[in-house]
Structure 1
Amino acid sequence: MNDTLLTRVTDVGRRFRKRRFQWLIALIAILVTLLGALILPSVRSGNLPGTSTAISLGGLAVFAILVAAAISLRSFRNLRKVASEIETTFPSLQQRLLTAISLMDEEQALGFLQKQVVREVSDHSRENSWAEAVPSSQMRLSRFLGFGSVILMVAVLAMLFFADGSQRRAGATMPKSQSWTVKVEPGDTEVERGNSLVVTARFLSEELGGSVPPDAELVLTASDGAERRIAMTQNLKDPILGGFVSSVEEPFTYQIVAPTWQSETYSVEVFEFPALVRSDAELDYPDYTQLDDKRVEDTVRVAAVEGTQLEWICFLNKPVQSAELVEEGGTRIALVSSADADTAMTAAIEMRVSQRFTLSLVDAQGRQNQYPAELVSRVIPNVPPKLKIAAASDTSVSPLEEFPIAAEVYDDFGIRRVGLAYSFVGKNHEVVLAENVSRGASEKVSHLIEFEELGAEPDQLFAYHLFAEDIGPDGLLRRTESDMYFADVRPFEQIFREGEAPPSGPPSQQQSPSGQEAEELADLQKEIINATWRVIRDQVGETLKEESFEGVGLVLEAQNEALNKLEELAQEVDDSKSILFVDQTRASMQSAITLLERSLGGNRTDSLNEALTAEQEAYAGLLKLRSREFEVSRSEQQNQSSSGSASQRRRQQQLDELELDEDENRYETQQQAQTNDPQQQQERENRQILSRLRELARRQEDLNKQIAQLQSSLEAAKTPEEKAEVERQLKRLREQQQELLRETDEMSERMQSPENQEAMQQASEQLQETRENVRQAAEALQEQDASKALSSGKRAERQLEQMRDEFRQKASGQFNDAMRQMSSDAQQLEEQQRELAELIQRDQQNQSSGLRDGEPQQEIEEKITRQREELSELQQEMQETIEQAEEAEPLLAEKLYDSFRESQQRQIDRRLGQTSELLRRGFDQQAAVAEEMAREGIEGLSDGLEEAASAVLGDETEGLKRSLAELDQLTETLENEMRAAQPPSDQQRPPSDQQGDPSDQQGDPSDQQGPPSDQQGDPSESQSLRANPSQAQGGQPNGQPSGQQDGQPNEGQNGQPSQSDPQQPGNQQPGNQQPGNQQAGNSITQLAADSPSGSPITGNGFRDWSDRLRDVEEMLESPELRSRANRIRDRARDIRVDLQRKSEAPQWDLVEEMIAKPLRELRRDVQEEWMRRSAEKNSLVPIDRDPVPKEYADAVHRYYENLGSGR
């Protein structure tokens, strides 16, 4: 019974194999038939031999059939697979056949039940035809297709086999001697080396009905006698034969030969346009640089110090009649022949200014170079030495003080001498501090001035400056001097009496009116001294520069003004000692005025030095008129005013050190140390402002759309109920507009902070205008004037968008947008070229099928024309970017120039033109070759632009790494607040937090391993935390808001009053609160008091938390990830606003669902993106991290709960 069952299953497997074999035969035969049909036109035209082609295809078909037979014989040998197919056809077996097959493999005797299963299967095989598992209809169909396709294949092969004989017979029937009227193009011609050549023969005889001789060939004969034959083809039914020479490298002769006719012999000469093959630069540096001369090979860009002798050595492809370097201004420098090579030309240039030359070449035949090379020489100026003085400011010293003067000097080519020059009691002194400082080295110098040894007395003036001597570009000694600084000798006794502090305002310094005027006059006199010194310092030689006359005139005018003020001061003094000081000062000022007038009239610089001495004497006299007693007080505000005399500002340090009875509120003055680099901090501020402007513009646009809709609804409202509903919505929009106004004020405050005031002054003024429009929109909404609100809102939207674009340029860099655009254009060109190739291929297929019409041809030509135009625009943009990036981004300019030059060498535009011309003449195969060469050139251009873009755009991996580290800290800060806000009995995380997203709990190794940012953090951040432990704990000490900087008032978020505002009822000053003394009337105040000061939701840390999340959004490149970070920040802001409006504790389950959980998911996705991009070998990449679909999230959540509870 088992053998019978096995035989029936084997028979079914045999039917499966037979059906597969017949299907494979049909497939092979159809493919060979199609291939033969495609080749048949070429065989009939004589391009391919028919007999050998038919034999090759037949052999290929036989081999494929043998392979198919082997595959078929090896298939369906597994009885289980066959049984499974039978079970599928006969479901009534209910897996009994598979069970019986399994029992056959066992060597033990079958039991009763096992025999019963085998018996039932055998009965089923007798009652049913298992062969129907392979239906008879399919067997007949496969047999028919296999047999029919084989017959069709044999027919096509036969046509190929006999095609040669028919052509030979056709040739034999034609006349052996036929008089043809033929026009051969291009005849005798010249071709540029490396270009292609198309030879056509147009037969003009009408007696033969437009026929052409068969088997025509293009015979090429080189100068050495070598012969090459190319078969000529007929273009459709036109009486034209054509031949294509892909590349012409040497001169040759050609002739068209046919069995019944041959043409004359024509010659093809080869020429070359003059071109630059390579250029070297020989640099002869000036002697003062102490640099060895060098030769830079194969370069078109050099940079050298001013005064360097540059020799361009240009190697050309052939001798030329003339070679010139043409500057942008039109200046021409002729190149002369060099002894290095017959084709080498040289030109010597002295590098004084940066120059850009175009190489113009003309050969003996008058041909000019088609692609003139650009040679760029950038001059590095020999800048004066850099003098950086430590604590560079004016000061006051005592007569017994030791005054240290320290500085750091640097020069790129070395310093001969560094010294200190000072003037004291009318005598000038110079002290040499260092000599022969090495090239490119920084040298620290210092000197100690001992005023006791100088015999200093109160109210004397010590003026000093540093100088450094090096060799200038002219090879002569050059002296560089720093600004002049002053140290006035103060009296031993200065009396400071404590006065009553005003309610607010800066600290008070009260002195006598004459003392105050003397202070101000002394400051003016010091400015006059500095101005005179600057004029002297800028002079070279004994005569004044032309541009210095205005400066001397202004100094003279200021000195006259000082003299007038001195006369006013003289009327107020009455003691004899002060009158004597005034007389001495008046005489010094009058002497200075006389010397300045002499210098201005005589055009001499020596009088300026004498005038400087007189001005210093006048300043020393004014110092003696200063007051000795002051009445001062300390206020709770820091003195931010820039008014007052410089002496008063210098004396502020003394005031701060006085031990006054009124204690300072230390909680308001303690500041957080700043560890960020100034440039990085400025870039971060730009990104923050840009992000805020982008958000404000988007929200204003959304509000404008809603206002426009409500305006239409208000006009269409007829019933009072409808109008009331519209007015209610307008009120809601007014609240949103007011919220936008508050955030505009917050951004304006940030712009006006000390660290941003200078860089963002203009933007701050623009923002004030924008704020006025935002305010007018809110006011109009309050008045329910939708039309006016929409008008003001539109103006605000446009201004915000304009400011956003300006800051985007500032934050993204000078060339980022240009490189992104050029990379995108190159990729688009590459994609369009691929589409063009596909279109050409389809057109060729239509031609072989006889379906070709004129529309595809016209479409292809239009695409090629458009492609050439876009390529030209891209190359023009590359040239402009190269010129702009030479100074700021030399690496980018170099990479771009290499890509540009390579694209020109590939002659992409010419290849596209050849493609169009060849298609127009009907040489489709040759056109495909030219198109492929153009496509390769465009792909190379795209790759080169991407490489150049990396020089400024950088790598996205570092941004992801920093974002991940920031998200870790943001998540931890939020979760700490959520845990602290829960009752003591529920200190564990909520179930949603414990279980979380199942994808987060499935052994996420990245949470423990993670990237380096997870374990070690950013170095700069870790140092910041070590420097300020209070920040690491999540907040500022003593209740100061996180993120509060110098000069920022202690205010709450969103324009709300600060808790420490003494004018707010119910608020107390920090540090003065006592237990049980707080008011319970305001629950939000109580909640904030119970929360950590840096809590992001209920505490004062929201602004810093939101800013850091905004930084994450700016660092992410993915639009999807940026959008998610933006949504989290918007939700946090909404909860914060709702918290302040309702003064109730937040719903922590809502915070978990809307903020905490999306934040953890964002962190997870950023980590996966970082690990995917970094692809480090040692990274532990988690497996199966696809998120759980939403429809199964609850089920998986319950599964993990049950799994954790042990059920």
Structure 2
Amino acid sequence: MSEQRAQLSALLGRVRTRWRLLVALRAWAHAAAAACLVLALALLAHRLIVPEGIALILLWSVAGVGALTCLAAVIPPIQRAPRDLQLARFIEEQCPDLDDVLVTAVGEEASGSDPVAVAVVDEALRRVRGIDRSRIVSDAALRRSGLMAGAAVSALLILAAFSAGPAGQAARLFGIYLSPDRLALSVSPGDVRIRGGDSLRVVAKVSSIGALVPVMSVSEGPEWRQTPMEAVPEGFAVAFEKVERGFRYSVSAAGTATREYTVTVVRPPHVERIDLRYEYPPAFRMPARKEEDGGDIYGPAGTRVQVTVHTDRPVARAALNLTGRQPLALELRDTVLEGELIIAEDGSYRVALTDADGLSNPGDTEYFIRTLQDRPPDVRIIRPASDRQVTPVEEVSIEASVEDDFGVAALDLVYAIGAGPEKVLPFQRDGLSTAVLGRRTVYLEDMAVRPGDVVAYYARARDVSQGKRSTEARSDMFFLEVTPFEQELVASQSQGAGGGGALGNLEDLAQRQKDIVTATWNLDRRGREAGGRSDEDIRAVDRAQRDVRAGALAALAQLRGASDLRRRPVAGQVASDAMLEATGRAAEAMARAHLQLQALNTSDALPHEMAALNELLRAQAEVRRREVQQQANGAGGRVANRQKQDFSSLFDRELARQQQTNYETSDRPETRRESSEDSDAIEKIRELTRRQDALNRRQQELAKNRANMPADQLRRELERLTREQGELRRQAEELARQLQQRAEARGRQGGDSGNQATRELQQISEDMQGAASELRRENPQEASARGNRAAERLRDLERRMRGAQPDDRRRAVGEMQLESRQLADAQRRLTDDPAAASGGDDRADRSRRLAAAQERLAERTERLEQGVRQLARTAQDADPREQSALQDAVREIGEQRPSQRMRSAARAEQQQPGAKPEGENIARVLDRLADRLGAAGGLSEDSERLTEKLARVRQLREDLTDLDEQLSELRGRAGDSTGAARGRSGQPGSGEQGSGVQEGDAREPWQTARDLLNELRNESRLESLVPEANGFDPGRSAPGTEAWKQDFARWDELKLQVGVALERAERDTADQLRDQQSRDRLNAGATQTVPEAYRRLVEKYYRALASGSDKK
């Protein structure tokens, strides 16, 4: 029995051994895998975070403890062994066919020699011996567990090998923290003096290598900031790219820190300012000139230049390092260095400085030395800046400016009347020898001109002689068109009748001929220069002259036909027609000019072109004269064909004249003197703005075209722009000094505004200086930006100064009102331009001209809008009525946006030539704006009432004109369809359809006429002027609705009578408004009006002068 039990125990022991081997292998695999995970995470953190110091120690301490804990977890499963009963049940679970015999046998093991127990044990042994051990603990499971355990242990060994380095570093670092005396730390360069702007590199070396990274602490004041040092081959380092300020620093590592080191920044001496004094050669006869805060040297060869350099501190040595020449030593006087050089050729120089500490500055800035060539003078007409229409007794003030490199010897005004000889008048000069401003007043009465003459004029300048012949330059040519004195009366009494088409054709021909004269003049002027002649351009002008001559011949034929139809035998009538003769002479002069242009002879072609222009203007004046005569005789033509002139031009002239001579209140002499000084300052600011804007445009053009310019030309243009910008800066500084002196003389009253203007001018001078510096750096784009900023500040300053005083503000309001009226007139003329409606091959060209003119009007309107807004902002101290009127004007601008609408009209004209513009609506907006400004200027209630009445009458006239155009179109369609309709009278329905005119088309104009006449009846002020309107009803006059059945006879008669009545109402209202405005203006309590008899005598006198008759 005991033997059987021993065999059973041995069998269970073998099974237990295989089971414990399987459990041990699995436990080792799991423990090794867990340890691998811990080490892998530690390595990943070490790679990503790169811990240093305490962090490194903590990371690998946690990793080591975690890995050991995972490995220690394998011991309990290995030590735990199952009991025999548990093992028997395990075997029974793996081999169910034992039927619990083994469990029973193990349980009966303690029963002794009981036969039943012995039988059970024997049966269990028999069955167990027949079972394969792999059924209980399979060999595959053992192999699989062995492989897993081997792989896990291998991975653990590999990770342990990778972790050995970081873990060792952590261990050594831990040892250093335990014993700091083991660490040796050295820093270089320690205390150091460094030149400002240089780089600095601080290197630290530690005796222990590994994960110990020193930290550098830097202090530029009371606070410290820490920066880890980077590992380099020689240790650890921190680099400073550019040191501008001194600082303190120290290095620490593992609880050990060095002492504080100091970095001291030292700077070499540098140049603060360079002053130049030019002494020109005696042949130039130019005074010495001093330039402060400059550097670049510009002058003719042989000029002696004294260079004065101001430094920030005393220096030991200084010299001018000249390009291609020996250095020029400078004389030392504390912080002022002086030297002298002579301009011989183009070059450059640098200022080299060395101080007592040995710090040297070789010169960061290179200054140019440029030899200026004697270029021709630059002469321009600045006022008037465009062609003008004048009367035969008018006085015209002409201003011209000229600039030259070395001096202006002469500045003359050259003029010619028509094709007559040129005459020379010297300008009254003002300004420096190199920049001269000339003024001259031309008295047309002394020239014996007559209506239709044209006076062409230009400015001619000659520079100083420098051992050679003086160079002469000419400005652009401008024209004074002499118009009849009666033109003003026509504009104020009616809008012209008859001859409108002839006048429009002649105006177009005169404008085109004027363009030809200007082009020929420019070509002739350019041809006088070397290489400036262009034969192709002359041929293009010749082609244009042929076209204008063809137009003149066509106009002549048209005028002759119209003259034959109009001519009636009247007693005393002169058979000759001056208008036809003038047009014929113009065509003949054009033919002669064409022959000269064919020969490429511009000088000889100019007199003939001028003669043609003069004759065209005389013919145009004859047309206007005939219009005056027709209106005086009451023989006006169709209202729809009249020239749309109105009272605005007369009002503008009257307003401008009163603003130039009258004052709102009487002033003391001191007040008038201060006002004159302020006006003079405002005028100077305006002139600075104009010149700065012109300079900005030239800079922008240079920036745009510099890629295509030769290097020499680019350099010369940059030098010229730099010199002009410097001159503007000097003038701005001089004006600032003058304003400062005036503010000090006035004391506290007015001193604050003067000081503010001085400060703003100083800022503007700084902007100009910046623009000049950018030009020296050859950066015209940035220079233009700075110049634009200076120009905007100048404009703001001008607006503030104009709005500071009530008189100036009222004067500004008057000028804006005048500008608004002129813009409205110009918009109406542009809308009614006959060229806009004409066809032919040149329609696109005319559309481009109209679009360009519309764009120019938009620019003027935009400037007007800006001025009104600025004036409204500065009128805080004005009376409430003036403020309210200005705010209404600003609101009108914001709601109507006239400048934007003008630009939209210009774009529409370019995209769709001949499109119907909204010019009349824009003109009405500008008229309303002028009325608002008039209210701001102090109009009385009666003046406002008359202004509204005048606007109402004008609106009625415009409605009448629009209605007549609609009825004229309806009449034309009726004439076209009458024959067809009557020819088909036997075919009911077809004639009506064939006429092409719908019933609504014929009814709508008549309904409009009915509404207009009803409106005239309801207008109480016009009821007595239009008695004819009461007996007219278009519904009864027209027997049918078809176009060919309409009766136009009564409408033509009524239209003429209503038009004359409206003209009379407009004239009377305008006279009342003018008288009321004269009464509104006060001067020391006296009225501005004059006796009516005296006014009529003055008008009669000027008419006699204009017509050339004897004065009685």
> Structure 1-normalised TM-score?
0.30
Larger Rg: 2
> Structure 2-normalised TM-score?
0.32
More helix by share: 2
